[in-house]
Structure 1
Amino acid sequence: MRRSPAPNGRPTTPAIRPAQNWIGLLFLLVFSHLRAQTPADIARLNQQITPITAVRAGSGFADLAPLAPIVASARVVGLGECTHGTHEVFQLKYRLLEYLVTQQGFNTLALEVDYGWGETLNEYIQTGAGDSLTVRKAAGFHIWDTTEFWDMVEWIRAYNKQHAAKIRYVGIDMQDSEPNLLRLEHFATERADTVLQRQVRNLGTYYSASSKASGNSKQRLLRLSDELVLHLQAVAAPAAIQQHGQVLRQRATEMNFWGRDQAMASNIAWVLQQEPTAKVVVWAHNDHIRRDEDQLRMGQCLTKQLGSAYVAVGFATGHGTASVFNPDGTAHALVLAPPIPNSFEMWLDQAALPNYFLNLRSAAAPDKWLTTRRKFRAIGHNERPGGANGQFAWYPPLPKAFDVLFYLHETSASQPYRAAHPAR
């Protein structure tokens, strides 16, 4: 909350309204009266967990076999993460991708990166095409420019070289206009389409301008985006090229965080429409892949589209460090606060095994500890204020958010990618 200046130039402390006071007291009462876990809760947890013997890819799949009944009939599996910078979670997600591809027939990896950059990196994965600078930039966000991510990319490349059925990589986000405009500019030049060249140039001018906040400016952006979409349809551009226009229009209409989630779900739906045999693994934060109805998140949208054919896999950790990012894009290791009282992690951390997964579909009915709204670790790309409490957010009962939960007792920060370019 911003403070308004007093006549002497010093900030004044805003008065606390009675309604705000009551809301705060209500949260305190709810949090303080959550039932603490009992020895019976811990015993029941130990009966339900499945041990994880390794987090690294290439470790076999015997311990993952119990996942088969949950994911076998899925068309989309969302792999979440409790932070955007956890080494072991990234490794385990890479291992789960390996399992889903080789054991369950999944053939598409959809990442929380922009569609345009995803297309660039997919070309590199399929053919090795692209200069090193462009390929490195195609990671999309600095959070993915890690050793763990590029190890996974190179595994996909190697897999595709050895198999006729290829893994496709696709970006589903819509925050960066640059790669879409570059693709459309190239397409317009190839086709000598002067109308499209002008439209791309106008959009590029808009996005490079210093002021885009006014209502008139946003209306102009929407009009330019609509004209672009209609033109691509009129000239019967390939579906992948038309999708660049659709993503630019999504960016023009993005109003809030949840608008982005709806756009990502729409882009996954587009992938499924284009490839009827596609089985998609989605890589994103827990907050995006969760399927509860707290907000209109990507996972909730996918659940409405696909029903039980969408499976949400959450991740949690108790201790260690995670990479978070400074405003200049550099990373530092954030020490993870130990599980706070009455958080889900406080219960999960008391299991007999350090690393395991929990089938929340079967655990939901008998386990009272899971049926209450509690705090759950949720860290994005930067450090939030509030100390230990700032690392946790209110979550619904976990079985409403996820079908499966992986828990790792101790984790470490993701490793920045140091090489000049991906291995060739």
Structure 2
Amino acid sequence: MKAHYTLSSFLICLLLSANLNAQEVVNGGFELSNPQGMARNWITDDANGKLRIGLTKNQFRSGKASLELGGTSVGEKPDGIGIAANLYGSSSATRVKSIRLSGWAKSSGKLDSVSLFVQNGAKIIRVKGTSSSRKGWNKLVLTYNIPDTESWYRFYYGIELNSNQLVWLDDLALSVNGKKIQDPISLYREPKARELAWLSRNISPVQLVAAGKPDGNLSLIGKAIGSARIIGVGEPTHGTSEVSRLKLSLLEYMVEHKGFTTLALEESIASCDQMNRLLNTENPALKDSLTNMPFYKLWKTREMLEMLVWVNQYNLSHQKKIKFIGIDSEDLGMKSSRRMLRDYGERNSMDIYLQTRTVDKSLDSLILLSRSSMDNEKTIGAANQLKRNLERLDSLVLVEANHAGRQTAFELSSYVRVCRQWVDTRFFRGNRDQFMAENINSYLEANPDEKIFLWAHNFHAANVNKGGQRTMGGFLKEKYGDGYFPLSITLGAGTYMAAADPSQKSWKSYKLEQPYLGTYEYIFSKMLPGNYFLDLSTAKGSAASWLEIPMKQLDLGYIYAGEEHYQYHGVLGQSFDGVLFIRNSAASHSLIN
């Protein structure tokens, strides 16, 4: 059915962007509302605009609200089925064996056009109301014992309506494998006075200052990181001006006072290598280079340009230079890496040039096959052939290292490694976060005296290692221990920049959703006005135990999708060693628009 197909497509996007260690939120009492007046965590399909779906306080079985579905035009049958649904198991590794879904429904007419449902892929199980249902609230119960021939790890569940009558749903309950799914208590409990008092005693004010100005109390962060070799500085979005300004101030402090010598960006290695060369020259056209080079468009901002200008000025006036490197395996189509290898080969090694051209042809064949299927036998065979050609290229680079300079040899091997990572990510379930950590490890092995200031999203910087799933920060923490210091930056209010759609041709400013109960930012916002730093190593005792409770964190991507602004992403007290809270921030300024 069209409605289910639409919802299924949307759900695939949710699964691809689901955060690790997700908590299950049923919100079956429908007491939690998002800014659009819909049940928080729920998604909808309004039958091409013919149905109205949202919360109402006019009808409820308990509490103060229920979910209401109804036609927008009296007497007009909706074009398709209206759906309100929630997702279970967005990152679950536990196999689902049984499901029980129950809820209380009430209708302005008959209930035979109403169904509770669960769905996994094309498999849909429904239980319908009946035309003989009594007036008032009627209980609907769906049970499904999943046969051994089916593998369910995640599914969505909810209510369907295929008429224009008014229907209300309340007190929905979900049990999986015989256990009732309970909402996290943090969504309903205000922070206690002693918890707020502890936070007030342990935070330290931080000023937002321009580079070259006094450090704004950043020395407290320097003290907290101790002798760490890597500081992973996160951000909740890739598009807030104050966050970038604070990162630049922090970078300056870490370079001048803590001996940090490398700035590593969540960007492709080849692009950053090209920029690094410019940063060591006089009067480089940095704005033109930033806008014209194949950098991710989210970095093409006035704020990133200010950072590059500062690094350039620093390098021209200091003997010890700041190195600017990339760490990401997301080199679109391996274009930048292949170009760097071709250019080097054409100038210095015909063997490397010709083998890179062989890689080009292998990639063309693979892309052509992948348009029909990403995982059939021919496509995977072509992917393996590409990997073999890359292995041959890697061996040629190894030979080249005998007479090329050490830095050149390292760069060439990095480009080949990124190509392999790109193939593994696309066709062999490779882990992007693991590859980013590997790229950092390779850099430090080749440059043992360097200390890295890592500029990335909170999601990647976080130390998350649970259930067989790890972020980049989780890999780094496992390898370096106290030598890796993950620092979260988060926000209380303001605006952020994001691409208006996947084409990324237009970048706009969007308002951040205010923190709400059940988010860490809600508690941080309870403090007096201003920005501050919290050293999480001080989080001891029961008054700080809320930092060990799963709560949502501000977490947004670079393409606007109208998604929830706050996501479950590990436990703050375990994911990070420190937090910088910025009260208000404005959107970054794109150089593309």
> Is the TM-score greater than 0.5?
yes
Percent same amino acid at aligned positions?
Answer: 26
DSSP 3-state at the match of 2:523: helix
Instruction: Tell me the distance in 2 between the aligned counterparts of 1:395 and 1:132.
Output: 35
Q: List per-residue Cα deviations over 1:368-394 (Å, max 9, x = no partner).
A: 2212001111001112344xxx11111
Q: Paired residue for 1:22?
A: 175
Instruction: Tell me the distance in 1 between the aligned counterparts of 2:430 and 2:185.
Output: 26
Residues 1:27 and 1:385: Cα distance change in structure 2 (over 3 Å): farther
Instruction: Tell me the distance in 2 between the aligned counterparts of 1:26 and 1:57.
Output: 53
Size of the alignment, in residue pairs? 412
Q: Paired residue for 1:124?
A: 278
DSSP 3-state at the match of 1:324: strand
Residues 1:257 and 1:120: Cα distance change in structure 2 (over 3 Å): farther
Larger relative contact order (CA 8 Å, sep ≥ 6): 1
CA contact (8 A) 1:51 1:356 kept: yes
Q: Aligned ranges for residues 25-40 of structure 1 at < 5 Å?
A: 28-31=182-185, 35-40=189-194
Instruction: Tell me the distance in 2 between the aligned counterparts of 1:280 and 1:345.
Output: 28
Shift of 1:110: 0.4
Matched, 1:249 2:431: no
Equivalent of 1:327 in 472, 487, 502: 502
Q: Paired residue for 2:560?
A: 383
Q: Paired residue for 1:205?
A: 361
Matched, 1:159 2:335: no
Q: List per-residue Cα deviations over 1:345-371 (Å, max 9, x = no partner).
A: 110110113211111111244402212
CA RMSD after TM alignment: 2.7
Shift of 1:36: 2.4
Q: Aligned ranges for residues 181-196 of structure 1 at < 5 Å?
A: 181-193=338-350, 195-196=351-352
Instruction: Tell me the distance in 2 between the aligned counterparts of 1:331 and 1:27.
Output: 39
Q: List per-residue Cα deviations over 1:78-107 (Å, max 9, x = no partner).
A: 010001111111111111101100111100
Q: Paired residue for 2:533?
A: 357
Q: Paired residue for 1:414?
A: 588
DSSP 3-state at the match of 1:393: strand
Question: Between Structure 1 and Structure 2, which shows a larger proportion of strand residues?
Answer: 2
Matched residue type, 2:117: A
Matched, 1:3 2:4: yes
Equivalent of 1:286 in 458, 463, 481: 458
DSSP 3-state at the match of 1:42: helix
Question: Between Structure 1 and Structure 2, which shows a larger proportion of helix residues?
Answer: 1
Q: Paired residue for 1:92?
A: 246
Shift of 1:10: 5.7
Instruction: Tell me the distance in 2 between the aligned counterparts of 1:43 and 1:27.
Output: 32
TM-score (norm 2): 0.65
Matched residue type, 2:277: E
Matched, 1:299 2:473: yes
CA contact (8 A) 1:51 1:355 kept: yes
Shift of 1:406: 0.5
Which structure 1 segments of 5+ residues have no match?
Answer: 420-424
Residues 1:86 and 1:251: Cα distance change in structure 2 (over 3 Å): same
Q: Paired residue for 2:520?
A: 344
Shift of 1:396: 2.7
Q: Which has the larger radius of gyration?
A: 2
Q: List per-residue Cα deviations over 1:192-235 (Å, max 9, x = no partner).
A: 42x32222113223445444332223222222222221221233
CA contact (8 A) 2:287 2:305 kept: no
Instruction: Tell me the distance in 1 between the aligned counterparts of 2:286 and 2:231.
Output: 32
Residues 1:51 and 1:23: Cα distance change in structure 2 (over 3 Å): farther
Residues 1:411 and 1:130: Cα distance change in structure 2 (over 3 Å): closer
Residues 1:78 and 1:235: Cα distance change in structure 2 (over 3 Å): same
Matched residue type, 1:15: F
Matched, 1:369 2:546: yes
Q: List per-residue Cα deviations over 1:325-346 (Å, max 9, x = no partner).
A: 1222121112111112221111
